[in-house]
Amino acid sequence: MADDILRLEKVCKAYNIGQSSATEVLHDVDLRLEHGEFLALMGPSGSGKSTLLNIVGLLDRPTSGRLSIKGHDTGALGDAEITHLRGHTIGFVFQYHLLISAFTARENVMMPMLVDRGFPDPEIEKRATNLLLQVGLERFADNLATNMSGGQQQRVAVARALAMNPDLVLADEPTGNLDSKSADSVFELMRQVNRDSGTSFLLVTHNLELARRCDRIIEVIDGRIQA
Amino acid sequence: MNRWLPFEWITAVRFLREGRMQTAFIMGGIAVGVGVIVFMSAMLAGLEANFIKRVLTSQPQIQLLAPDQIARPLRHAAGEFEDATVQRPSQRVISIDQWPKIRNQMLAMPEVTAVSPTILGSALAVRGDANRAINLCGVEPDSYFKIVRVPDYIVAGEPRLTSEDVVVGTELAKNLGATVGDKLNIQAASGANRVLTISGLVDLGSKGVNQRTAFVALRTAQSLLGMIGGVTTIDMTVADIYAAEDIARRIEAANAVEADSWIRTNAQFFTAVQAQETSNSLIRIFVALSVAFGIAAVLIVSVIQRSKDIGILRAMGTSRGQILRVFLLQGGLLGFVGSVFGAAMGAAALIYWHSVARQVDGTELFPLMLERKLFIATALLATLTGLLAATAPAVRAAKLDPVVAIRG
């Protein structure tokens, strides 16, 4: 139990509560993710995967149930505490890489640390450069995000997700937009990070072949976790 | 990244730099607006200063006169009059009663900066066969020249006023065929006359005034006008020229004198100045409003365009306050930088216009007044306008739900 990075108990999520259009997207979801685990989350479109990921990522709140991250019950936390916990514990990799186009690759990686510390000190820059080296993109450190291929951008996004040394990385179909070679390379990168640093990963994917290379596969169908 | 700038500044500057075209256009709009404000404000301030300088250095700001003489009807009892009609009496030139006491009272007032007793009357200037009616103005040069800058308007000779000197208007000298050093015979209506030497010629900016004006020493005028020891007016200047009318009314209420302020005697000019200021203020308000709407429109579009960026920033731990500040800063920066360009444009336009626009006599239309405080005030106003205009977009950005923002 103490090793759980993430724990969901009876988590439900409904929209438009009290209206005729009320919809429950997640039903009594129970989920555990241990430290260092690499979990694949699969399911058809509209099954509630992204909603679950948003709740786990503290971008959205459950309607009911309990969500604990590193043993902290998030239900009792205010907006500022949630933002702080998210910034320090969770890294995100999105499907459309979503780098900030106004910044270079290095600056994008620096961003989470800059948000946290307020000023861009040399230590931040050094760590960003090291992370780019780790994902094999040190040569592109000063390239604007728009001047890189999709695969390269996604690698930068992985580096950025690792910037705050998070306990958990949430990846929402990170390879969905990449060719098979780039997809494989990005997946291997995440797996390598997982093995080397013990960072837990929750990977949403439609790619069964990649999912099989994860520690565990969970399937979400109609808002419920399938055994 | 500049290591001295915080996250909010870095992000705001980058967002503005990335949307180059948008930023350039709105900054151009702000610069034009600010340029118009700077140009108009500086030009109107120059015109007003020029006008005020001309008016206030060639006439007193407050003039105290003996009250009008009135005929009081004889009465037997309440409501019963001796005469059916009371004829208005002729106004003799008389001295202000107890003028030294009033002068001392005026000097004791903190708002008053200079006081000078003068004596005004009519006389005839005769030189050979030529003679002209003149307004004889007897003054104490030391105090009077602080009020009416006669030395500034001397075009020949010097503003010397001993008991033997007279300073005359340029047109009067021309009409009498006289110049500096020539003698004039000044004859008063009472028959008294003195021969005085022209010590200087003065151009007070008006042909009519230059045809009639003659300054002499106070004692000379008192002797000529048969009013030994008396003065007809007490001229004054005050620290706040726009308070002159209020001060005049207070003096009139407390003393047995009539007090005329420059505001009352130049009512038309003063109204024109106020109308100019009102129109200038209105232009400022409308320009500021259009600048504010422009900034708000651009930033609202920017918030929509950058919703994914905002979502990512929120996902990586950026607080709502930080997002709010990023967009407020963009508004402030647009206002400030636009105002710097605008101030430069306005100043350049003003310098050009100053060199081109001339009066009929070739002198400058207005003095070039590029005061630092105008630029500082304009930059502050533009920055504040930018910040206020950015409030609505910034709040909208801060309130964006990261889930919705990332989904776009």
Q: Cβ of A61 under 8 Å from any chain B Cβ?
A: no
Same domain, B149 and B180: yes
Residues of B in contact with A60 (CB under 8 A): 403
Q: Which residues of A39-75 are buried (b: 16+ CB within 10 A; e: fewer)?
A: bbbbbeeebbbbbbbbbbbbbbebeebebbbeeeebe
A183: closest CA of chain B, how far (Å): 21
* Residue B157 lies inside a defined structural domain of this protein: yes
Same domain, B96 and B193: yes
Same domain, B234 and B109: yes
Which member of B4, B309, B317 has the closest CB to residue A112?
B317
* Residue B43 lies inside a defined structural domain of this protein: yes
Q: Cβ of A84 under 8 Å from any chain B Cβ?
A: yes
Interchain CB distance below 8 Å, A120 and B2: yes
Predicted pLDDT of residue B47: 79
Region A142-165 average pLDDT: 89
Per-residue pLDDT of chain B (408 residues), as tens digits, is: 777 889 999 999 999 999 889 899 999 999 998 998 888 888 888 877 777 777 777 788 899 998 887 777 666 677 766 666 777 777 777 888 889 999 998 999 999 999 999 999 999 999 988 899 999 999 999 999 988 888 988 999 999 998 899 999 999 999 999 999 999 999 998 888 899 999 999 998 788 889 999 999 999 999 999 888 889 999 999 988 888 999 999 998 888 889 999 888 888 877 877 787 888 888 888 888 888 898 888 888 888 888 889 998 998 889 999 999 999 999 999 999 999 999 999 999 999 988 888 777 677 777 888 888 888 988 898 899 999 999 999 999 999 988 888 876
Predicted pLDDT of residue B75: 67
A83: closest CA of chain B, how far (Å): 5
Which member of B1, B309, B317 has the closest CB to residue A86?
B317
Same domain, B363 and B283: yes
**What is the reported pTM?**
0.72
Q: What is the CATH number of the domain that holds A185?
A: 3.40.50.300
Q: Cβ of A112 under 8 Å from any chain B Cβ?
A: yes
To test the contact with chain B by mutation, choose from A113, A115, A117, A124 the residue with the greatest count of B C-beta atoms within 10 A, namely A115
B378: closest CA of chain A, how far (Å): 31
> What part of A 126-145 touches B (C-beta under 8 Å)?
none
**Whole domain around residue A129: which residue ranges?**
4-226
Same domain, B320 and B245: no
* Residue B71 lies inside a defined structural domain of this protein: no
Kindly report, residue by residue over A19-78, the tens digit of the pLDDT.
877 888 899 999 999 999 999 999 998 888 888 999 999 999 999 999 999 888 998 888
Interchain CB distance below 8 Å, A83 and B402: no
* Residue B263 lies inside a defined structural domain of this protein: no
Same domain, B93 and B44: no
Q: Cβ of A86 under 8 Å from any chain B Cβ?
A: yes
* Residue B262 lies inside a defined structural domain of this protein: no
Q: Cβ of A110 under 8 Å from any chain B Cβ?
A: yes
Predicted pLDDT of residue A1: 47
Same domain, B246 and B198: yes
Same domain, B249 and B302: no
Same domain, B94 and B144: yes
Same domain, B251 and B279: no
Interchain CB distance below 8 Å, B316 and A160: yes
Q: How many other CB atoms sit within 10 Å of the CB of residue A182?
A: 18
Same domain, B280 and B327: yes
Q: Name the domain count of chain B.
A: 2
A224: closest CA of chain B, how far (Å): 21
To test the contact with chain A by mutation, choose from B302, B308, B316 the residue with the greatest count of A C-beta atoms within 10 A, namely B316
User: Using beta carbons and an 8 Å cutoff, which residues of B are at the interface with A?
Assistant: 1-7, 10-11, 14-15, 17-18, 308-309, 311-320, 322, 402-403, 406
A81: closest CA of chain B, how far (Å): 10
From CA B256, how far away is CA B97, in angstroms rounded? 8
Predicted pLDDT of residue B81: 66
Predicted pLDDT of residue B271: 80
Closest-CA residue of chain B to A104:
B1
Which of B204, B225, B256 is a domain's end point?
A: B256
* Residue B302 lies inside a defined structural domain of this protein: yes
Residues of B in contact with A77 (CB under 8 A): none
Which member of B6, B18, B320 has the closest CB to residue A119?
B6
Whole-number mean pLDDT of chain A?
89
Interchain CB distance below 8 Å, A122 and B3: yes
Q: Name the domain count of chain A.
A: 1
Residues of B in contact with A121 (CB under 8 A): 3
Tokens of B96: 């202000």
Region A146-167 average pLDDT: 89
Kindly report, residue by residue over A172-188, the tens digit of the pLDDT.
888 887 788 888 888 98
Same domain, B314 and B385: yes
ipTM: 0.87
**Whole domain around residue B244: which residue ranges?**
87-256
* Residue B131 lies inside a defined structural domain of this protein: yes
